[in-house]
A = this chain, B = another copy of it.
Amino acid sequence: MTHVTQDLTRADGAALPTSPPALRRANLSLVLRHLRDHVSRSRVDIAEATGLHRATVSNLVAELLERGLVREVGIEHVGAIGRPRRAVALHGAHVGALGLEINVDYISIHGADLSGRVLVERRVGFDTVGSGPDRALRRLSLGAREAVEAMRRAGAVPAGIGVAVPAMVDVARGVVTLAPNLGWQDLPLAARLSEALSTPGTPAVPVMVDNDANLAALAEHTSGVAAGTPHLVYLTGEVGVGGGIIVDGKLLRGADGFSGEVGHLPVDPAGDRCGCGRYGCWETKVGLAALMRTAMPEQAYQQDSGQDGLPVSDPEERAKEIARGLAAGDERMLAAVAQVGRWLGLGGSIVVNLFNPRVIVVGGYFATLAEWLLPHAQRELERLVVAGPAAQCRFVASDLGFGAASRGAASMVVNRLIDDPNTIMDPIPRQAAY
């Protein structure tokens, strides 16, 4: 009887001749995770740290060596006495992870290998909304194919592809349920992209899809300014405002994968109409369009479209323009940023009252304007958080730039690989020609 529940995968399964595959997988994952967290380790150290039998560890390491996921890294001398031990480390220079992000007006690509080496990093302008889903998918698969080729030339074959989309995503099925800013609905993105990338006779490429803010939060937790903080919230500051929430070091997904939908929190019953049709959503207070309406009314977008913010072209350029005005002391812009900053703090207080994170990392234009925006936001946050100073939380600006979500998409692939070395590796022979 193989009965494995979430709490019951911990076991020295590999030492048993009848070891169920799930237990072996858990132990492979355990060794990989240990090596990820400790750079290099001898087999004896791994056995002691994990409680697995030495023979089991040798057996697991042999499999990981054969798959190319770990490599021998030489001798570890432990103290003056005792035999020197041969250490192993995560290798993965020939195993890669490809992350993509498709957003309103760009596609971003991040390819890395398991050892953390970045192999491909680029961003291309693309009118996703105007192109429609079919052309967008073709452009995305072209970008992925080029990246895979570049990664292969660098010696790494992607073990999977992660895609970030500004959307509500059915993660289990890889379907984009609703992406209002892209105009997409019920798009089976994982299946479509996997199909577009497959070559007759070779196995399908595993594609995973998730919300862009979730994946940016993952990137922040993995490699951002507050990396490793167990309770961390990430807020995107773009045309729309999204959130990704890390709780106890893990991405919070909720019952259906729709957690962290901060943009449409109702914060003002007397507020303006939002693109979503409701009134007083937080996005109408802190989205880039809201800032531009106050800071640069002569350039602000027409508010009658009902599509909150779509007409804001090139948000990054607009944010930089406002930054120049602020640096020059433009009074109206300073007042506008103060106002948006207070609303940012108010929304932050909702997040802190509910989640009690240690850090709120802000990206997008919030990061571009951080030095002007965050002091106002921090003051308002501290005024409104009910636990007061006891719940220490600070706003910090992301330094990952607009590539955070694609970087997080690659991290998702790495995490999946480490959590479950079999499912993701079996379908992709090391020399797969896709």
Binds B, one of A93-101, A142-150, A255-263, A402-410: A255-263
Q: Is the interface of A mostly helix, strand, loop or mixed?
A: loop
Q: How many copies does the complex hold?
A: 2
Contact of A391 among B245, B258, B358 (CB under 8 A): B258
Residue of B nearest to A271 (CB): B269
Chain B residues whose C-beta falls within 8 Å of the C-beta of A13 in the assembled complex = 51
Looking at A9, A15, A34, A350, the one whose CB has the most chain B CB atoms below 10 A away is: A350
Q: Are B258 and A356 in contact (CB under 8 A)?
A: yes
Q: Are B268 and A3 in contact (CB under 8 A)?
A: no
Binds B, one of A16-24, A69-77, A320-328, A364-372: A16-24
| A12 in the interface (beta carbon within 8 A) | yes
| A387 in the interface (beta carbon within 8 A) | yes
Chain B residues whose C-beta falls within 8 Å of the C-beta of A178 in the assembled complex = 387-388, 390
| A1 in the interface (beta carbon within 8 A) | yes
Binds B, one of A42-50, A81-89, A292-300: A42-50
| A354 in the interface (beta carbon within 8 A) | yes
- Shortest C-beta distance, A225 to chain B (Å), equals 17
| A187 in the interface (beta carbon within 8 A) | no
A258→B231 CA distance, assembly (Å): 12
Looking at A16, A51, A230, A353, the one whose CB has the most chain B CB atoms below 10 A away is: A51
| A317 in the interface (beta carbon within 8 A) | no
A103→B297 CA distance, assembly (Å): 53
Contact of A10 among B26, B266, B358 (CB under 8 A): B26
Given A51-B16, A255-B230, decide whether A354 and B266 contact each other with a Cβ distance below 8 A: no
- Shortest C-beta distance, A53 to chain B (Å), equals 7
Binds B, one of A246-254, A301-309, A331-339: A246-254
